[in-house]
Chains A and B, each alone.
Chain A
Amino acid sequence: MAEAINKVCVIGAGVMGAGIAAQAANAGVPVLLLDIVPKEGADRDAIAKGAVARMLKTEPAPFMSKAAARLIESGNIDDHLERVAECDWIVEAVVERPDVKQALYARLETLKRPGAAVSSNTSTIPLAKLIEGRSDQFKRDFLITHFFNPPRYMRLIEIVTGPATDAGVAAKVEDFVDRMMGKRIVRAKDTPGFIANRIGVYWLSTAVNAAMDQGLSVEEADQIGGRPMGVPKTGIFGLIDLVGLDLMPLLNASLSATLPKDDPFFGTLRPAPLVEKMIAEGYTGRKGKGGFYRLDKRPDGSRAKLAIDLSSGEYRPERKPPPLPEGADRDLSALISAPGKTGAYAWAILGPVLSYAANLAGVADDIVVAIDDAMKLGYNWRYGPFELIDRLGPGKFAERLRTEGRPVPAILETAGDRPFYQVVDGKRRHLTIDGEYAEVVRREGVLLLEDVKLASEPLTKTASAALWDVGDGVVCLEFIGKMNALDDQVLATIQKGVALVKERYKALVIYNEADNFSAGANLGLAMFAVNIAAWSEIEKLVAGGQQAYKALKYAPFPVVGAPSGMALGGGCEILLHCDAVQAHAETYMGLVECGVGLVPGWGGNGELLDRLGKAPRAPKGPMPAVAKAFELISTAQVAKSAAEAREMGYLRPTDAITMNRDRLLADAKAKALALVEGYAPPEKPVFQLPGASGRAALANAVHDFGLRGLATPYDVVVSARLAEVLTGGEADLVDTVTEDDLLRLERREFLAAVKDARTQARVEHMLETGKPLRN
């Protein structure tokens, strides 16, 4: 393993620099954040301090916890630059001007320790230019680390090294950004705009130009250029609104200054009076007064969505276009050959953009994989350009270019009819520039279920869950249903998995590679049962869930939960039953059942009570754990990071956090295997609960919430049901309440809740609108 980075200095506290500093702090490493001394005011550190203060109020939050924010020390480059000597890595994120950067490096050169890495977050300036005039030692220590905005959430980093860059220094930085900052590395060559922005800017400009040329509305353009192409649902114009209209001219200008003059990029440049006018009037996108779309408040407080008319420049109510022709929403070939403007517009984007991407041979080694990763992680495309070409058929795509008299990129000629990706012997391979196939190589220590699936058959599989052998005696339980919703088939698979691991394996890991671990039980199915009054079926589902989760908990082997994304309701409860959790840093856990008028029904109440009661420094007595669990569940609090889940008590101090999504399965597997030796299932907990006295205290709190308008009339009812469970029902302070007693209470209150028409109204509203009903 490379030498460790124990302290980081970030110079430049703008949006990017501050965000990079925050992510390094999220990794638990102290950070020195420096900016210039402000022209006015007494506090010489005010700019860096202000950036940290602003980030504490930003949503989505750059910090994963308040503790992370405390790891940043703010300063200024006049008084504190010599303190770079304390740092193992210095990130420069100052203004994009070569002279400013070079002058800073000249100062750093004399102050930093030899071997301490220096990297620039430049998005456009070539490395060769940056290191002009520097010492050999400095050149050895220098590289480019190009993060994407926002640095916490965008998983891509482009890394550029120069011919003089020391391999050990680069390895040190790569190891840190990969394992500690959670980024997937794309190694780019020292070419203008590197990979993601170069293709991304070309893509957005091409799509905007084509929409104007072909007379499409912004809604039509986003319908065609969004989801069917695997682009985020914002589509083209929605995405520009998100990143900011004013960013486009800046990116255009910097690429214009550095790209060779024959680059097709220059063909996308044209006067944009509408966009200029919008920027001048403050319509810079979502951060401003609105952009191509705008939300207006109606007099009654509701919001009206408006869209701009691209020809007149006037806002008008949003107009949903009719659905795309059959098949065009799913099949990319059908999309580009669809009649009318659908096919014309789709091709006007995909033809040039995929060609442009395919022509970028030489921007990276492993060009196909690097370009696809860059666009998937840097621009949130679901498929990379070469994966899109594979979906169209490389031969057919080239043929159409040829027919239209357009140049065919060399790599397409090389590919011929062969796909850019293929699977041979369970290994994914990609086409190289030489026309050979090479195995897609993961970074050391990365294990992906995606790869396991290519190489093997599931041990068992239903429509909602599957079991996989992930090696070394470890089985992986994967949820695969829609939204990873949990249902009777998942529960059956759990029971099957418990039996299987007991018989032939060592440990179980619960993990999947969807965006969200699981948003909980399948409410649609539950509502179906409610509508036909199949109460016994619902009761069976509740009891079945309790049994399956307890089977995991008391299985004679270790069970490790490995969530990423949302783990809500039943998806949170299953994690509470695991021996240990290895959570991706971006895990959002919570028991949210009360939001739909229910109470946790799969053992979550007892598990949360147990761990809150055992939390270090928890006050003694019957109420603290009950009150805390009540607060978390009744207000459906969801942790906004794994670190926060730990602060809130959903995760134990012994649970671990993985920063890099790609390393989650490997880490979870290692954690499970570490528990195998001498494993004994946990003892059943017993509880001492306050009974009716505790409920009286909780009712007081709910009453006050009601007065403050924070609890609706039905919230009061729901929280009373929750209180009934958490305080142990009829239990008295001196009684002992068992886990089974709590499960019984949980079932009783869940059934009472689900039979209540007001709960049913909440569930239906959630299923229809995705938003909670506040009845």
Chain B
Amino acid sequence: MTNTVIAGYVRSPFHFAGKGALAHVRPDDLAAQVIRGLLEKTKVNPAEIEDIVLGCAFPEGEQGLNVARLVGLLADLPISVGGMTVNRFCGSSMSAIHIAHGQIQIGAGDAFICAGLESMSRVPMGGYNPLPNPELAARSKAYISMGETAENVARQYQITRAEQEAFAVESQKKAAVAQASGKLADEIIPIATKAGLVAEDGTLRPDTSAEGLAGLNPAFATDGTVTAGTSSPLTDGASAVLVTSEAFAKSHGLQILAKIRSVAVSGCAPEVMGLGPIEASQKALKRAGIGVGDLDVVEVNEAFASQAIACIRDLGLKPDTINIDGGAIAIGHPLGATGARIVGKAAALLGRQGGRYALATQCIGGGQGIATVLERA
């Protein structure tokens, strides 16, 4: 069997939607700059790239049509490089990696750019024309809002507001330390904007304290426990990883960050979509033939503190392995871009931390989970 490897990871800085430094940047331009950055960093020959597989949760407007193809043209990739847009909501760009992995396995190419983008400033969450199926809407929670699912999970798992806030403070603290020590800068491609170069995340709130968070009003329900401070913010950003066969990486002198050991997706009830990572991770771990105890690095996406805590608890993850440089509550969650970020991050952390196995997993609106198990090269 051919091994699939992660041979490079970059992302744009992440900024708050609406008021952040990337609000005036088109998402396709943003992704094109990130992909150029990936090519420069990895030194891969663009002519040898088979395809761009690009995840986006609301592929319409400026990130509509087949935006993957358009990004390839914007980034001045050779005309021969293909482009495919993938939508699995928040799991989109992790799916992009899984697709590339599959293509490599069936001999349909050796090198893929797997990317993700989302401008939550410029394309609203839910899209411009939400048109639910009335019959499905009446009999299921398929269209439930994300905030309400976070409340449901908090209630079902009896996760108190204080626990969620402690988790958020921790996430902010880890991200602040990582930023201060230059560990985030390593992965960031500075983005050219009309107002100048943007090189740092604008989402971090390093002075977050438990007391400060305790003063916020519930964001989604008057009697709820979830606040803006314990939710990931609406974010603009893009990410990209280089996925190749092991043979290709070696013959081209690419730096291999990690091998993909297994992948999985799994459905769950839409009203508790935040629990999706549990089963998906269990499936992926089983496919990799390892247990939770074997994991040295875990990236579990923090859509909300409540669902992240629930997943950590049910999976029995070791605290010191989790989101070592902070998670989405601090760094942000540009929906379609998060999957590639956390897979790339997990791969990079394996190299930095030592250790053998890593897990990247996330929940997905509508009720799904997705997971990827990596092994240090």
What is the CB-to-nearest-CB distance from B358 to chain A, in angstroms, rounded to a whole number? 36
A198 within 8 A of B: no
Query: Do A709 and B128 have beta carbons less than 8 Å apart?
Result: no
Query: Do B128 and A708 have beta carbons less than 8 Å apart?
Result: no
Query: Do B133 and A696 have beta carbons less than 8 Å apart?
Result: yes
Query: Do A700 and B220 have beta carbons less than 8 Å apart?
Result: no
Most buried by A among B126, B132, B144, B151: B132
Bound complex: CA A700 to CA B146 (Å): 12
B160 within 8 A of A: no
Query: Do A704 and B220 have beta carbons less than 8 Å apart?
Result: yes
Residue of A nearest to B61 (CB): A619
B145 within 8 A of A: yes
Which residues does chain B contribute within 8 Å of A707, judged by CB atoms? 148, 151, 220-222, 224
Query: Do A696 and B220 have beta carbons less than 8 Å apart?
Result: no
- What sequence of 0s and 1s flags, for each residue 601-635 of chain A, a beta carbon within 8 Å of any chain B beta carbon? 00000000000000000011111100100000000
Query: Do B148 and A704 have beta carbons less than 8 Å apart?
Result: yes
Which residues does chain A contribute within 8 Å of B145, judged by CB atoms? 700, 703-704
What is the CB-to-nearest-CB distance from B124 to chain A, in angstroms, rounded to a whole number? 9
B197 within 8 A of A: no
Which residues does chain A contribute within 8 Å of B220, judged by CB atoms? 704, 707-708
Bound complex: CA A131 to CA B250 (Å): 84
What is the CB-to-nearest-CB distance from B233 to chain A, in angstroms, rounded to a whole number? 18
What is the CB-to-nearest-CB distance from A449 to chain B, in angstroms, rounded to a whole number? 45
Which residues does chain A contribute within 8 Å of B61, judged by CB atoms? 619
What is the CB-to-nearest-CB distance from B98 to chain A, in angstroms, rounded to a whole number? 30
Which residues does chain B contribute within 8 Å of A733, judged by CB atoms? 131
Query: Do B143 and A622 have beta carbons less than 8 Å apart?
Result: no
Contact of A623 among B131, B144, B222, B224 (CB under 8 A): B131
Which residues does chain B contribute within 8 Å of A709, judged by CB atoms? 221-222
B251 within 8 A of A: no
Contact A620-B128, Cβ < 8 Å, known A700-B137, A708-B220, A708-B222 = yes
What is the CB-to-nearest-CB distance from B364 to chain A, in angstroms, rounded to a whole number? 18
Residue of A nearest to B126 (CB): A697
Which of A516-524, A586-594, A687-695 forms part of the interface with chain B? A687-695
Contact of A700 among B133, B143, B222 (CB under 8 A): B143
Bound complex: CA A501 to CA B320 (Å): 81
B182 within 8 A of A: no
Interface of B is mostly: loop
What is the CB-to-nearest-CB distance from B350 to chain A, in angstroms, rounded to a whole number? 40
- What sequence of 0s and 1s flags, for each residue 525-557 of chain A, a beta carbon within 8 Å of any chain B beta carbon? 000000000000000000000000000000000
Which residues does chain B contribute within 8 Å of A708, judged by CB atoms? 218-222
A720 within 8 A of B: no
Query: Do A693 and B148 have beta carbons less than 8 Å apart?
Result: no
What is the CB-to-nearest-CB distance from B105 to chain A, in angstroms, rounded to a whole number? 39
What is the CB-to-nearest-CB distance from A597 to chain B, in angstroms, rounded to a whole number? 22
What is the CB-to-nearest-CB distance from A3 to chain B, in angstroms, rounded to a whole number? 35
B354 within 8 A of A: no
Bound complex: CA A697 to CA B133 (Å): 9
Query: Which size bracket describes the interface of B in this complex?
Result: 20 to 34
A699 within 8 A of B: yes
Which residues does chain B contribute within 8 Å of A692, judged by CB atoms? 134
Which residues does chain B contribute within 8 Å of A627, judged by CB atoms? 130
Which residues does chain B contribute within 8 Å of A696, judged by CB atoms? 131-134, 137-138, 143
Query: Do A700 and B132 have beta carbons less than 8 Å apart?
Result: yes
Query: Do A697 and B128 have beta carbons less than 8 Å apart?
Result: no
What is the CB-to-nearest-CB distance from B362 to chain A, in angstroms, rounded to a whole number? 23
Which residues does chain B contribute within 8 Å of A690, judged by CB atoms? 129, 131
What is the CB-to-nearest-CB distance from A581 to chain B, in angstroms, rounded to a whole number? 28
Residue of B nearest to A623 (CB): B129
Residue of A nearest to B218 (CB): A708
Which residues does chain A contribute within 8 Å of B151, judged by CB atoms? 707
Q: Which residues of A in the span 676-721 have a Cβ within 8 Å of any Cβ on B?
A: 690, 692-697, 699-700, 703-704, 707-709
Residue of B nearest to A624 (CB): B128
Contact A621-B128, Cβ < 8 Å, known A693-B133, A707-B220, A708-B222 = yes
Which residues does chain B contribute within 8 Å of A624, judged by CB atoms? 128-129
Q: Which residues of B in the span 154-191 have a Cβ within 8 Å of any Cβ on A?
A: none
What is the CB-to-nearest-CB distance from A707 to chain B, in angstroms, rounded to a whole number? 4
Q: Which residues of B in the span 205-245 have a Cβ within 8 Å of any Cβ on A?
A: 218-222, 224
Which residues does chain A contribute within 8 Å of B20, judged by CB atoms? none
What is the CB-to-nearest-CB distance from A405 to chain B, in angstroms, rounded to a whole number? 67
Query: Do A619 and B148 have beta carbons less than 8 Å apart?
Result: no
Bound complex: CA A733 to CA B132 (Å): 13
Which residues does chain A contribute within 8 Å of B82, judged by CB atoms? none
Which residues does chain A contribute within 8 Å of B138, judged by CB atoms? 696
Residue of B nearest to A693 (CB): B131
Which residues does chain B contribute within 8 Å of A699, judged by CB atoms? 137
B147 within 8 A of A: yes
Which residues does chain A contribute within 8 Å of B137, judged by CB atoms? 696, 699-700
Bound complex: CA A695 to CA B128 (Å): 15
Query: Do A621 and B143 have beta carbons less than 8 Å apart?
Result: no
Query: Do A694 and B131 have beta carbons less than 8 Å apart?
Result: yes
Residue of A nearest to B131 (CB): A693
Residue of A nearest to B144 (CB): A700
Bound complex: CA A624 to CA B137 (Å): 20
- What sequence of 0s and 1s flags, for each residue 109-136 of chain B, a beta carbon within 8 Å of any chain A beta carbon? 0000000000000000010111111100
Which residues does chain B contribute within 8 Å of A700, judged by CB atoms? 130, 132, 137, 143-145
Most buried by A among B61, B131, B134, B218: B131
Which residues does chain A contribute within 8 Å of B134, judged by CB atoms? 692-693, 695-696
What is the CB-to-nearest-CB distance from A400 to chain B, in angstroms, rounded to a whole number? 61
Bound complex: CA A200 to CA B170 (Å): 60
Query: Do B128 and A619 have beta carbons less than 8 Å apart?
Result: yes
Most buried by A among B61, B137, B138: B137
Residue of A nearest to B224 (CB): A707
Residue of A nearest to B137 (CB): A696
What is the CB-to-nearest-CB distance from A710 to chain B, in angstroms, rounded to a whole number? 9
Bound complex: CA A697 to CA B61 (Å): 19
Bound complex: CA A165 to CA B61 (Å): 58
Bound complex: CA A707 to CA B150 (Å): 13
Bound complex: CA A690 to CA B131 (Å): 8
Bound complex: CA A708 to CA B221 (Å): 4
Residue of A nearest to B130 (CB): A697
Bound complex: CA A703 to CA B224 (Å): 15
Which residues does chain B contribute within 8 Å of A623, judged by CB atoms? 128-131
Query: Do A621 and B148 have beta carbons less than 8 Å apart?
Result: no
Query: Do A704 and B128 have beta carbons less than 8 Å apart?
Result: no
Query: Do B132 and A697 have beta carbons less than 8 Å apart?
Result: yes
Q: Which residues of A in the span 430-459 have a Cβ within 8 Å of any Cβ on B?
A: none
Residue of B nearest to A695 (CB): B134
Which residues does chain B contribute within 8 Å of A693, judged by CB atoms? 131-134
Bound complex: CA A59 to CA B129 (Å): 35
Which residues does chain A contribute within 8 Å of B221, judged by CB atoms? 707-709
Which residues does chain A contribute within 8 Å of B219, judged by CB atoms? 708
What is the CB-to-nearest-CB distance from A620 to chain B, in angstroms, rounded to a whole number? 7
What is the CB-to-nearest-CB distance from B31 to chain A, in angstroms, rounded to a whole number? 21
What is the CB-to-nearest-CB distance from A693 to chain B, in angstroms, rounded to a whole number? 4
Residue of B nearest to A690 (CB): B131
Residue of A nearest to B147 (CB): A704
Residue of B nearest to A621 (CB): B129
Residue of B nearest to A704 (CB): B145
- What sequence of 0s and 1s flags, for each residue 730-750 of chain A, a beta carbon within 8 Å of any chain B beta carbon? 000100000000000000000
Enumerate 15 A-B pairs (CB-CB under 8 Å) in ascending A order.
A619-B128, A619-B129, A620-B128, A621-B128, A623-B131, A627-B130, A690-B131, A692-B134, A693-B133, A693-B134, A696-B131, A696-B133, A696-B143, A700-B132, A704-B220
Query: A residues bordering B, Cβ < 8 Å?
Result: 619-624, 627, 690, 692-697, 699-700, 703-704, 707-709, 733
Q: A621-B129, A703-B145, A707-B148 are in contact. List 19 more A-B contacts (CB 8 A).
A: A623-B129, A623-B130, A690-B129, A693-B134, A696-B137, A696-B138, A697-B131, A697-B132, A700-B130, A700-B143, A700-B145, A704-B147, A704-B220, A707-B151, A707-B220, A708-B218, A708-B219, A708-B221, A709-B222
In the complex, the 8 A-B pairs of residues with the closest C-beta atoms, listed nearest first: A709-B222, A621-B129, A693-B131, A696-B132, A619-B128, A697-B130, A623-B129, A696-B137
